Structure 1
Amino acid sequence: MKTTLSISPVERAADVLERILNTIKNDNGAKANLKRALTGEPRHRRAAYPLVLRYLSEKEEEYHLEPWLLVTCLLAYYPQDIDPGNKSTFGHSARRLKNDDSSRGPERRFRALLDTSVEDLRSPLTAMVRLMKSKGIPINYPQLLVDLCRWDHPDQYIQDKWARTFWNAPRSETDTEGLDDQLEN
């Protein structure tokens, strides 16, 4: 009897991002292609396809290509170690950015980000990651990827999770399964 092991979406994202990071770590041309793809220009995005598509399932490519491309490009721009055990969200990183900056800019940007549709996330998310890079604030890319794949959920539970983390509000009882653990770090 064949047994199929099930891994969580965060573990899957961590595995693929780690493989992509290992592929590009000594390839400056590949890193440059991914960084240029952050502009959103179609020709630059196409240059990133060979680096990303080979690792994606048919379903991931069909339904979640945009988040995969965006997060992979951000990882090339601001590389981080991939830790599948890390439970922090982008809300945690944004809160650290707010705490490290005396201006209201990070909070204003974060509020705008929460109200942005998935199609328009590239520019504001990239701007926040640039600020985080300048302050050395870590980002949990596997969790960011999973969250972006769920961004358009009608309940907007990802935006709520990020907002609660950012403003450090208590969790509600209606959180979906598994979200409570992710907010504890």
Structure 2
Amino acid sequence: MTQALPSLKDHCRTTVAELIRICQDRAVRSALRPLLAGIPDMQIRAMRYLPRNAPVNQDLLYLIAGLVAEYPCSLPEPNNVMSFGASLYKLSQHPDIKATGIERRLESLLQLELDSLMQPLHSLVVQFSSTQSSKTSIVIDYATLLYHLRCWDDSRKWVQLTWARDFWCPKEDGKEQNSDETLDIVKS
């Protein structure tokens, strides 16, 4: 009997779970945050903390590691996936945040190529961290974010469509609207 290979989503989830675990240590967070600057010396310093055999290229791993270090939050349950667009919608509803600014940033973000996403994602995650002291913290599903960034360049733009729909046409519970089955329609 052969065992099924883990999917890319499973690998992303495992990688992010490890990043969240190690980011409980403040010293590790301090070492990983500078990854968002893209400086090679910082990458060398952080290398000892990064998960081995991540299912993505090093640049994506650096990006996600830096974002998790900037704004650590727990990993949602697998049946509770949330796109970054859905998280941005929740952020835009926060009383201390200007919704039109978030909307403009998302519009710009959706037009960018993968290699141009680091700075805009970082500045948005900083806005999430500014809400941390409030009673209701907003979760970023970093596993789904990693998976979506891994698929960002797909010619059908299904990731960008998902983020746009989850922001401008949100479900009441804020979860990603597309289950795996409905996403398959867009992907095929």
TM-score (norm 2): 0.79
How far has the Cα of 1:49 moved from its partner?
2.4
Q: Verify the 8 A CA contact 1:93 1:132 in the aligned structure 2.
A: no
Structure 1: state its 5+ residue gaps. 171-175
Find the counterpart in structure 2 of residue 118 from structure 1: 114
The 5 A counterparts of 1:150-161 are 150-161=151-162
Letter of the 1:87 counterpart: V
The 5 A counterparts of 1:8-27 are 8-26=7-25
In the alignment, the residues of structure 2 paired with residue 178 and residue 122 of structure 1 have an alpha-carbon distance, to the nearest angstrom, of 26
Q: 1:24 to 1:165 in 2, by over 3 A?
A: closer
3-state secondary structure, aligned to 1:32: helix
Find the counterpart in structure 1 of residue 69 from structure 2: 76
Find the counterpart in structure 2 of residue 6 from structure 1: 5
1:54-107 deviation line (CA, Å, top 9, x unaligned): 5225xx35xx22222211211111111123412111010111122223451111
The answer as to 2:52 corresponding to 1:55 is yes
CA RMSD of aligned residues (A): 2.5
In the alignment, the residues of structure 1 paired with residue 23 and residue 170 of structure 2 have an alpha-carbon distance, to the nearest angstrom, of 39
In the alignment, the residues of structure 2 paired with residue 162 and residue 132 of structure 1 have an alpha-carbon distance, to the nearest angstrom, of 17
Find the counterpart in structure 2 of residue 134 from structure 1: 130
How far has the Cα of 1:120 moved from its partner?
0.8
Q: 4+ runs of 1 displaced by more than 6 Å?
A: none
Structure 2: state its 5+ residue gaps. 132-136, 172-177, 184-188
